[in-house]
Amino acid sequence: MPNSNSSHQFDVIIVGSGGAGLTLALSLPKHFKIAILAKSHLTDASTYYAQGGVAAVLDKTDSLEQHIDDTMIAGSHLCEFNAVRQTVEGGQASVDFLLKQGVQFTLDDQEQLHLTREGGHSHRRIIHAADATGKAISTTLVERAESQNNIHIFKHFIAIDLITSEKLHLEGPKRAIGLYALDEKTEKVHTFLAPFTALACGGAMKAYLYTSNPDIATGDGIAMAYRAGCRVANMEFNQFHPTCLYHPLARSFLITEAMRGEGAYLRLPDGERFMLRFDERAELAPRDIVARAIDYEIKRLGIRHVWLDITHKSEDFIQEHFPTLYQRLLELGIDITKEMIPVVPAAHYTCGGVMVDQHSQTDIQGLYAIGETSYTGLHGANRMASNSLLECFVYGMAAAKHIQSQFDADYHIPSVPAWDDTQVNHPDEDVVILQNWDELRQTMWNYVGIVRTTKRLERALHRIEMLKNEINEYYQDYKVSKNLIELRNLVMVSEMIVQCALQRKESRGLHFTLDYPEQVSELKRTVLMPHNFSVQKEPINA
Ligand code: FAD
Ligand code: SIN
């Protein structure tokens, strides 16, 4: 007998309680019955950890065209123009949405939203809540969602796989019917059914040993969508944030780019401001350039980190703009008003993802992907700072509109078999998972990092294939657990990253390979066709 007949029916199932998932939930009509699933507690999401802010054109001297241009330049012109325009044009509506929810942003002397600056932006256009913007957004949106009776929250529920009409051998166009999810506390698998399902699961940068991401970022949404038959694009473009703290007690702690935006310098041990040698925009060049320059200097000099220096600013200025960082670093023994901060690049953002249209709909009817899980085409070969939260809000609202327009009160939910784990055993030793997890992340860091070669990528692929086989065998034989679900997804997404990277025979944006250091003239996205990792190169803006 299957282990559970716990079946739940909703109008909309949302996997993820970050900026993307919560925006969708809060933008849907209140008579919709909505489920939100989260792997952990609701604020355990990248959204919560965002420091810098949200990009939007608000200043009179700025313009939508300039935000579009900056995004295209940062993305090495591999951005889909329509997605860039849709996102940038959605800036004001996103700010209005956040203010309406009650998010408190930092104001300037005139009581207007204070705008800070980050790399790649030609203007000040980042709204923020001091240096803890994500916390302000996440806690406010969570509070809102928790106060609505139509939103049902399932914490510590881990979505395992999607249920589609194809899997049930139903006739007609392929559509999403729901998903199976593991209740971590009871270890039971539940069935969630709805005419609409949205994957807002965040990114996949836990694939790397060193990352700014929280533990939830294991690429579950991308892997689930791909297994269900969706195309996934541009997975070779993984962003490394230039400045994560180098400290034994705080491994994934980010030092916001806004610090460089407000004038901090990057220095070598001898004090040299080395970015001036790499790019005329110096510390405010796009992230790919700054991270690569740091990586180059670290390797050239055989040092463990470089320094970020804001000591030339007044103590008041630093404490006013960066209160969280000031306090946290003081606790770690670094007084940033007097001392420089040791920093290194770390994996930060997944630019590729599940291909979606302007409504956030995937290749499967009724299935949406939003936020870092998705590929809208906005980021191209490199995401510009603070554009990703904006994308979460713009596409979360677009999905809500589309779902509303597609809603059919007569939709009939087909009957779905319960999860069957009668043929599997309890795992005998979990050390297999731990071992494979470590090996995967080390492999990705060493062979698929900031600077790549074909040989390193092939080595990585070989290792990943072996790990994948071992993990899949384990998955078939043993009961599912959170770690196993995540590892199965992470190994799949890692393979996607390497397959896409091997197909891009040029260096562009975040994908830099010593074997193809130049850019080719045609602008193409790398598309993974469902099921077999075959890669197609497609012209962008087609
Ligand atoms: P997340 O906020 O990561 O939420 C993912 C959700 O999905 C979580 O609730 C998780 O539990 C859930 N989930 C995942 N898998 C499953 C599953 N299998 N079952 C159930 N639930 C699941 N961007 C900016 O624009 N500005 C910034 O200043 C900025 N700063 C950043 C700082 C840091 C340290 C980091 C890590 C990122 C930053 N980014 C910033 C990027 C930005 O925060 C993220 O891209 C964005 O928050 C992603 O939002 P999301 O809703 O897509 O995913
Ligand atoms: C940061 O604050 O540096 C992160 C901004 C971002 O990732 O967009």
Separation CA 313–CA 261 (nearest Å): 13
From the CA of 201, give the closest atom in ligand 1: 7
> CA dihedral in degrees (74, 517, 204, 433; nearest 10)?
-160
Rounded CA gap, 358 and 136, in Å? 28
**Beta strands per DSSP E along 196-340:** 196-199, 232-233, 238-245, 265-267, 306-309
Q: Is 374 in the pocket of ligand 2 (CB under 6 A)?
A: no
Which pLDDT does position 160 carry in this prediction? 98
Phi, psi torsion values for 238, nearest 5 degrees:
-105, 125
Which atom of ligand 1 is closest in space to residue 386's alpha carbon? 25
Q: Is 38 in the pocket of ligand 1 (CB under 6 A)?
A: yes
> Is 203:45 a contact under the CB 8 Å cutoff?
no
Digit-by-digit pLDDT tens for the chain (542 residues) are 444 459 999 999 999 999 999 999 999 999 999 999 999 999 999 999 999 999 999 999 999 999 999 999 999 999 999 999 999 999 999 999 999 999 999 999 999 999 999 999 999 999 999 999 999 999 999 999 999 999 999 999 999 999 999 999 999 899 999 999 999 999 999 999 999 999 999 999 999 999 999 999 999 999 999 999 999 999 999 999 999 999 988 877 999 999 999 999 999 999 999 999 999 999 999 889 999 999 999 999 999 999 999 999 999 999 999 999 999 999 999 999 999 999 999 999 999 999 999 999 999 999 999 999 999 999 999 999 999 999 999 999 999 999 999 999 889 989 999 999 888 888 877 888 999 999 999 999 999 999 999 999 999 999 999 999 999 998 998 899 999 999 999 999 999 999 999 999 999 999 999 999 999 999 999 999 998 889 999 999 87
Mutation test residue for ligand 2: of 260, 386, 391, the one with most atoms within 8 Å of CB: 386
Hey, whose CA ends up nearest to atom 1 of ligand 2? 256
Look at residue 227 in the predicted model and tell me its pLDDT: 97
Query: Which ligand 2 atom is at minimum distance from the Cα of 385?
Result: 8
Report how far residue 376's alpha carbon sits from residue 395's, in angstroms, rounded to the nearest whole number: 9
pTM for this structure? 0.96
Give the DSSP letter of residue 196. E
pLDDT of residue 1: 40
Active-site residue identified among 117, 175, 231, 287: 287
Q: Is the CB of 388 under 6 A from ligand 2?
A: yes
Measured over the CA atoms of residue 444, residue 448, residue 453 and residue 457, the dihedral's sign is positive
The amino acid at 426? H
Ligand 1 site, residue 213, Cβ cutoff 6 A: yes
Known catalytic membership, residue 227:
no
Nearest to 180, CA basis, from 41, 3, 21: 3
Residue nearest to atom 29 of ligand 1 (CA): 50
Dihedral angle computed from the Cα positions of residues 12, 16, 17 and 19, in that order, rounded to the nearest 10 degrees: -100
> Contact 176/228 with Cβ under 8 angstroms?
yes
What pLDDT does 396 receive? Answer: 98
CB 23 within 8 A of CB 403: no
The ligand whose atoms approach the alpha carbon of 126 most closely is 1
pLDDT at 532: 85
Residue for token pair 């970015």: 275
Decide whether any atom of ligand 1 lies within 6 Å of the 50 Cβ: yes
Quote the ligand 2 centre to 16 CA distance (angstroms).
20
Distance 328 CA to ligand 2 centre (A): 17
Strands 12-15 and 34-38: parallel
What is the per-residue pLDDT for 252? 79
- The pLDDT value recorded for residue 542 is 74
Spell out the residues 6+ positions from residue 516 whose beta carbon is closer than 8 angstroms to its own. 504, 505, 506, 507
Give me the architecture of the 238-348 domain, per CATH.
Alpha-Beta Complex (3.90)
How much distance in Å is there from the Cα of 200 to the middle of ligand 2? 19
Residue of 42, 44, 47, 390 with the most ligand 1 atoms within 8 Å of its CB, for mutation: 47
Task: Look at ligand 1, atom 15, and give the residue with the nearest C-alpha.
Answer: 201
- Residue 244: per-residue pLDDT: 96
Q: Which protein residue's CA is at the shortest distance from atom 25 of ligand 1?
A: 386
Give the span between the Cα atoms of 491 and 454, in whole angstroms: 19
Cβ atoms of 495 and 463 closer than 8 Å? no
